[in-house]
Amino acid sequence: MIMKNPNHQPTASAEENLHRKLEAIDKRDGEVKAFIEVYREESLKKAKEVDKRIKDGKAGPLAGLVIAVKNNITVKGKRLTCASKMLENHRAVYDATVVERLNAADAIIVGSVNLDEFACGVDGTYSALQRTKNPLDLERVPGGSSAGSGASVAAGMCDAALGSDTGGSVRCPAAFCNAYGFKPTYGTVSRYGLADLAMSLDQIGIISKDKAVMKRVFEVIRGTDPRDQTTQLADAMLKKKPAETKVIGVPKEFFEGVDKHIATGVKKRIKELEKRYEVREVSIPTLKYTVPIYQLTMAAEFSSAMQKYDGLRYGFAAERNEELYTSFAKARDAALGKEIKRRIMIGTYITMKEFKDAWYSQALKAREVMKEEFASVMKSIDILAGPAMPTGPWKFGEKMTQLEMYAADMLTIAANLTGTPAIIEPLSSDFKDGAIQFYGRHFEDDALFHID
């Protein structure tokens, strides 16, 4: 019941574990800036309660574990900023389902962590509030959009962090911060309380240096929730025992455009896997189109998700004494970042009557083709393997075009488009060596925790 912290020092109690994490935060977060809010009082109180329950033998399955939560997931009464001026001073009025479940399992939520604004970004630099740095190299980006989730784990400030993954936003910071990152099958973890980016792509994921911790947390937060209708099948489907992993497929498309040393490292790892599994090269042609399919689908859904931010009910307040539509536009213009506005404009444009068939309808069709191709390949393949990210974390200020930024997602996106679960594992203790990524079959998430 009492989890060892990732540095493998035995912890006697929840309080001790928490103190260790708070020490790390106090020592390093001044420069790392992973945290938006530290829930110091509440955590200390909870830790004491949890220790009592441990003593009474009544503690929950996550007793004593310290968890950080990406600040686009609601914690009742706490700031939910989504790293945006739009919600800078907004306090959530309810707990997300995953937060309810963590609390009930006796985990200690130590605070909220930074992200790219509304989860739109690939390196963490799009937060409108603060800049999170990679604890492993302060001149480099921590990855995004769950920047604070990756950084807080890497810096020993928590045992695990929740993030959200729409196109790789949990797996990218995990890779850049040299930790494990996991995106569950779409529909296994409730999104009730997760501020939407793209409703059909988003999934709450976990970052941790300890795979066993990750699995425990997943077991607690997953499952059917009537408040998120896309989880209807979760309980029934997760009951099924996954087939034993026998065959690993390696799509050749996964190695296109990848830094040479990462490709080499991943191929070496795959060679080691040949000892235990049959490894085959496969081809999934639609992988060529992952980025455009994703960009169009995501933008369309995002523009819809952002309609609610009109400055009337919460967040940045619209001017009251102005013509209605002028005040909406002014509030949104003032409080939303450039990348947000870009995505809203694209999403609005491609869903307009005149342009729908040119772009959005095509993306929807292509997505269906990709799903079919994956399903067909996974009939005879249990797991797909390849690199997690095409490059390592770049330095702050390094020039990248918009397209280059978007292309960084290219290896992770397909898991969101098809809904398959995916996990990334660091290749070594040096983040520069990169990470390997595994895709699984729908609802056979557990298989991903046991590849070795």
CB-based contact 436:412 (threshold 8 Å): no
Residues binding another protein: what is the number (CB under 8 A)? 44
Region binding another protein by CB under 8 A among candidate stretches 36-44, 187-195, 214-222, 247-255: 187-195
Shortest distance, position 251 Cβ to another protein, whole Å: 27
Interaction of residue 165 with another protein, rule CB under 8 A: no
CB-based contact 420:182 (threshold 8 Å): no
Task: Print burial letters for 331-361: b (CB count within 10 Å at least 16), e (below 16).
Answer: bbeebbbebbeebbebbbbbbeeeeeeebbe
Cβ closer to another protein: 304 or 362? 304
Q: Which of 305, 301, 295 is nearest to 84 (CA)?
A: 305
* Chain residues 92-151 in contact with another protein, contact rule CB under 8 A: 92-94, 96
Cβ closer to another protein: 96 or 157? 96
Cα radius of gyration (the chain): 21
Interaction of residue 362 with another protein, rule CB under 8 A: no
Shortest distance, position 123 Cβ to another protein, whole Å: 23
Known catalytic residue: 239?
Answer: no
Region binding another protein by CB under 8 A among candidate stretches 15-23, 24-32, 48-56, 320-328: 320-328
* Three-class DSSP category at 170: coil
Known catalytic residue: 152?
Answer: no
Q: Which of 184, 226, 218, 216 is nearest to 203 (CA)?
A: 184
Interaction of residue 301 with another protein, rule CB under 8 A: yes
Shortest distance, position 291 Cβ to another protein, whole Å: 20
Interaction of residue 194 with another protein, rule CB under 8 A: yes
Interaction of residue 200 with another protein, rule CB under 8 A: yes
Shortest distance, position 222 Cβ to another protein, whole Å: 16
Interaction of residue 312 with another protein, rule CB under 8 A: yes
Known catalytic residue: 13?
Answer: no
Of all helices (H) and strands (E), which one includes residue 215?
A: helix 211-221
Considering only 229, 264, 283, 376, the residue that binds another protein (CB under 8 A) is: 229
Question: Using CB atoms within 10 A of its CB, is residue 161 exposed (0-12), middle (13-18) or buried (19+)?
Answer: buried
3-state per-residue secondary structure call for 98-131 = HHHHHHHCCCEEEEEECCCHHHCCCCCCCCCCCC
DSSP 432: G
Shortest distance, position 308 Cβ to another protein, whole Å: 5
Largest CA distance in the chain: 71
User: Alpha carbon of 192 to those of 8, 152, 302: distances in Å?
Assistant: 34, 24, 17
**Helices H / strands E in the chain, number of each:** 14, 11
Considering only 218, 328, 394, 431, the residue that binds another protein (CB under 8 A) is: 328
35 to 64: interface string for another protein, x by CB under 8 A: ------------------------------
Which positions ≥6 away from 423 have C-beta within 8 Å? 180, 181, 182, 183, 437, 438, 440, 448, 449, 451
Shortest distance, position 175 Cβ to another protein, whole Å: 26
Cβ closer to another protein: 239 or 353? 353
Shortest distance, position 114 Cβ to another protein, whole Å: 17
Interaction of residue 79 with another protein, rule CB under 8 A: no
Interaction of residue 77 with another protein, rule CB under 8 A: no
* Three-class DSSP category at 140: strand
Shortest distance, position 279 Cβ to another protein, whole Å: 36
| Catalytic residue from among 43, 84, 112, 145 | 145
Angle at 377 between CA 376 and CA 380, to 5 degrees: 100
Considering only 2, 199, 400, 405, the residue that binds another protein (CB under 8 A) is: 199
Interaction of residue 314 with another protein, rule CB under 8 A: yes
Of all helices (H) and strands (E), which one includes residue 247?
A: strand 247-251
Interaction of residue 353 with another protein, rule CB under 8 A: yes
CB-based contact 252:281 (threshold 8 Å): yes
Catalytic sites, residue numbers: 70, 145, 169
Q: Which residues bind another protein (CB under 8 A)?
A: 72-74, 80, 82, 87, 90, 92-94, 96, 191-196, 199-200, 226-230, 232, 300-301, 304, 306-310, 312-314, 320, 324-325, 328, 348, 351-353
